[in-house]
Amino acid sequence: MKRIINTSNAPAAIGPYSQAVEANGTLYISGQLPVNPLVGKIEATDISAQAEQVFANIKAILTEAGYEFSDVVKSTVFLSDIANFAGMNEVYKKYYATDCPARSAFAVKDLPLGALVEIETIAVK
């Protein structure tokens, strides 16, 4: 059985997808952009601030679904420029200091809305 997760504390989907779907004790969070859900747009211009907003959005979805960062088992990080890897990583390690999830991180040609970073997340109870 699957459960669709939706919260107004994270940005609304900008296409035909759900913020997250839970199935059999696993939560699949769609890629989160650094969109401030209060204004519906990207406000931050540097990688650190954009990564902080992405993690705020992930936290809102985790919370809505009854999960925590400690439940995260896999992250996929998309960067518009691999030169932003170190800046993203500085923020990332604040949320995953111990027992870190598996992770992939790579540069892509472009991200929606001109974002510098997008992160998708999988968590398990």
- 14, pLDDT greater than 90: no
Output the CATH code of domain 2-124: 3.30.1330.40
When pLDDT is cut at 50, 70 and 90, the band that residue 27 belongs to is: very high
> What's residue 1's pLDDT?
86
With beta carbons less than 8 A apart as the criterion, state whether 120 and 29 touch: yes
Nearest to residue 90, comparing CAs of 32, 46, 51, 35?
Answer: 51
Q: Rounded to two decimals, what is the model's pTM?
A: 0.96
**Residue 98, class by beta-carbon neighbours within 10 Å (0-12 exposed, 13-18 middle, 19+ buried)?**
exposed
Mean pLDDT of 49-69: 98
Which residues face 120 on adjacent strands? 76
Mean pLDDT of 97-116: 96
Lowest mean pLDDT among 14-18, 27-31, 60-64: 14-18
Average pLDDT over the chain reads 97
Query: Hey, what amino acid is at 61?
Result: I
With beta carbons less than 8 A apart as the criterion, state whether 103 and 88 touch: no
